[in-house]
Amino acid sequence: MMSEFIVNTPQHDRQSPLRWILSHLSRHKRLIMVMFIGALGNAALAAFVPIMIGIAFDAVIADPPDLRLVGQTAVAIVISQTVRAGLQFGRNFTSAVIGERLERDMREELYASLLGKSMTFHDMQPVGDTMARATNDVHELNLMLNPGINLVVGSANFMMMPVLLAGRYHEQLLLAPIFFVVTYLLALIRYLNVLNPITDRVRLAFGLMNSRLAEVIDGIEMVKGAAQESQEISLFADHAGEYRDAAVAQGRVEARFLPLLLLGITQAVGFTHALWLSRIGEIAVGDVVAYMGLLALFGFPTFISLMAYSRVSLGLAGARRILALLKTETLLDENAGGYHQELTGQIEFERVTFGYVDGVDVLRDISFTVEPGQTAAIVGQTGAGKSSVAKLVNRTYDARDGRVLVDGVDVRDWNLAALRQQISFIEQDIFLFSRTVAENIAFGDPNASQTMIERAARDAQAHEFIMHFKDGYDTVIGERGVTLSGGQRQRLALARAFLARPHILILDDSTSAVDSATEDQIQQAIVQAAANQTTILITHRLSQIRWADVVVVLRQGRLAAVGSHDTLMADSPAYRRIFEQYEAIGGDGG
């Protein structure tokens, strides 16, 4: 499968949810063996108790009573249950360890896979649903193993004991245990067939509810600005109601589970049969007592089956949702063996056509060249495709037709990491992490020294406002930089780009939120940096357009003109119209 990023992790079988889970569990064979031995020993020693009680019962009613034998059975029960406690602890402990490791490994696998998906995938996949799968659905797999599978394995061993041991009293007494096991399995198969689609519905409803929550929280400023809190509460209530309805439907199926009735029938039939055999002298009274104790072992699989198998079904539903993300194809590949050199910064578009969705072209037949060290300004009306041009350079997206070349090499032939590490892209919607100021600036170069960080901040005109913070560069900023003004976020993004020392710097209207005086200072820093790099400016600032070596004019997704500012002013009516419009709205920031 193609991926923009591949981490060296063990490869797992993704052909089906069950095979995927088993491929993860195969890494913990010793722990699984301990869990199974603990479950078998626990069930065997649980069955030992009614056998000893039956022996003791016969010893008590004997004439004379054999009190010595009664004492021996009591000691045997105490010793056996002490050993049983240790085995049960080992079973529960190992299943808990396996469950936690399973959750950790699957979450890491999903996280690495999400990082490797293309922007097309992330554009179409709701963040809230992704978060639901990465947190709750993965945790359901932990709960599926512990207590789910742990109890299923334990109950399976408890069901074996009456079938294995009832025949020691009389072969006819096998009928009741066999009846229970057969009918229990048939009821279980029917139960799971009905339950599985409902648990799928439960997990889907939870994902939709979580998506709505994440979307509204992310757009809370819009909700409050439009005074739409009541409407959003109503919409969220609808999703919460769908989740409730799915959970209630699951409860209805669980309420109709038959094994409790089957247990009553089995015990009634078994007790009647055993009494009859005792009356005709085939078995002793103590054997009847022991036999009923063995049948009582069916109570464990009966009473835990509701919870255990619903946990298994929910876990498989979660696995199906996680696997759907893991198996989603991405359109980009990291091309690990691709071109890997220090670039000089030449950019060339050859008849490029591109669209975010099939059938809708954002760019059509675009061709132009930017030489190393040049500064290119991309101008045009809103929606002309300016940002799309920039996102093709660092291969955030791939051209549908034509080629984008960097240093004469098709970007698809570059090693993706090598290409992107040499390109800095500052978008309009600047993202900052909820980390310290210094960590945000050094995001592209984690090994940068404090001196380097401060130098980059000074170049971006950010040092002064950073030092006004109480903790300076150690100040933790809010998620997405919400504690900063727009101008401060832009300057931190510029500092991050300057520190990375890229060979290609792309600025997508990155000084729109700063005043003219600050912009002039930032532009001087950009000019200094541009001496050693190729720079692409997507801007409506007239001063930046005049400064550019090459101006690329876009109109409705097509190339209207290419050339220097002076040449285009003389020869391109389309450029003159755009330039005059920028002047009319105060394009120099006035």
Per-position DSSP letters for 221-238, written without gaps between them: HHHHHTT-HHHHHHHHHH
- The C-alpha atoms of residue 590 and residue 522 are separated, in whole angstroms, by 16
Chain centroid to CA 523: 40
Answer yes or no: are the C-beta atoms of 186 and 123 closer than 8 Å. no
Please report the pLDDT score of residue 590 as a whole number. Answer: 36
C-alpha angle 217/221/223, rounded to 5°? Answer: 75
Q: Which domains does the chain have, with CATH numbers?
A: 17-326 (1.20.1560.10), 431-501 (3.40.50.300)
pLDDT on residue 105: 92
Residues of the chain with pLDDT under 70: 1-10, 479-482, 510-519, 521-522, 524-525, 528-531, 582-590
The pLDDT, as a whole number, for residue 346 is 95
CA-to-CA distance for 390 and 420, rounded, in angstroms?
12
SS3 85: helix
Two tokens, residue 573:
């009516």
Contact 310, 247 (CB under 8 A): no
Q: Given this model, what pLDDT does residue 359 score?
A: 83
Bridge partner residues of 426 (DSSP): 507
Q: What SS3 state is found at 214?
A: helix
DSSP code for 478: P
Rounded Cα–Cα distance for residues 393 and 404 (Å):
7
Distance between CA atoms of residues 48 and 54, nearest Å: 10
For tokens 């649980």, what's the residue? 46
Determine what percent of the chain falls in helix, strand and coil, rounding each to the nearest 5.
65, 10, 25
Whole-number Å distance between alpha carbons of 368 and 345: 14
Q: What is the pLDDT of residue 159?
A: 95
Instruction: Write phi, then psi, for 348 (nearest 5 degrees).
Output: -140, 130
User: Residue 172 in contact with residue 223, Cβ under 8 Å?
Assistant: no
Helix (H) or strand (E) holding 379: strand 375-380
Quick count: other Cβ atoms within 10 Å of Cβ 209? 22
pLDDT in tens, 486-525: 778 888 888 988 888 889 999 887 666 566 666 676 676 6
Beta strand 409-410 with 423-426 is unpaired
Rg of the chain (C-alpha set): 35
Task: Give the pLDDT score at 93.
Answer: 95
Encoded tokens for 387? 């940002």
Task: Give one word for 563, left, alpha or beta, with left for phi > 0 and alpha for psi -120 to 50.
Answer: left
> Cβ(203)–Cβ(137) under 8 Å?
yes
533: nearest Cα among 566, 551, 507: 507
Read off the DSSP letter of residue 434.
S
Measured between alpha carbons, how far is 227 from 150 in angstroms, rounded to an integer? 50
pTM, to two decimals: 0.78
> CA-based angle 9:214:478, to the nearest 5?
85
